[in-house]
Amino acid sequence: MEEEIVPNAQGELVKYFGKHVILDFFNCNRKAINNPKLVEKFMVKAVKLVGMKIINGPFTQFYTHPTDPGESGVTSVIVLAESHASFHGMERSGLVCMDLFSCKDFDAQALIDLFVKTFAPQSMHFTPLNRARDYGHEKHD
């Protein structure tokens, strides 16, 4: 598994285990994000685009919320050799919350570009995280 070495706020080089990208897309094409077959096709294409290996899934299903049908939507999860990818869509609002975590570096912009092309969000919020600081240097009891 690869580790990434990046400078922290003080300029010190810090090792991380992997990258976790959290993406919130707003006002997406509702017909598209509520189509399980399209979502599943997108998920497979997305993880392959960024060089990940699928070991299980995708598991994709339209979920009907029991008390608030507007909160219903498609959920899709893929288990990767490098970690996981998930997609959670909301029928009423057009919101999609997506994430990809990997021990291998990847091109987050390529993932975003594919999403925008497929689901046409009006706006988005991108949160990149480096996971497991100082991986490999922890003490074991």
pLDDT 10s digits, 98-118? 999 888 888 999 999 999 999
Task: Please indicate, yes or no, whether the overall pTM of this predicted structure exceeds 0.75.
Answer: yes
Which residues pair with residue 25 across a beta bridge? 96, 124
pLDDT in tens, 23-36: 999 999 999 999 99
Task: Find, among 92, 74, 78, the residue nearest to 33 by Cα.
Answer: 74
Non-local (6+) Cβ contacts of 132 within 8 A are: 16, 17, 18
At 15, the pLDDT band (50, 70, 90 cuts) reads low
Q: Is-contact 46 66, C-beta < 8 A?
A: no
3-state SS of 16-40 is: ECEEEEEEEEECCCHHHHCCHHHHH
Q: Which one of 3.60.90.10, 3.40.50.1000, 3.20.20.80, 3.90.550.10 gives the CATH number of domain 14-131?
A: 3.60.90.10
Q: Which residues are catalytic?
A: 83, 88, 103
Give me the percent of the chain exceeding a pLDDT of 70: 80
All structural domains of the chain with their residue ranges: 14-131
CA gyration radius, the chain: 17
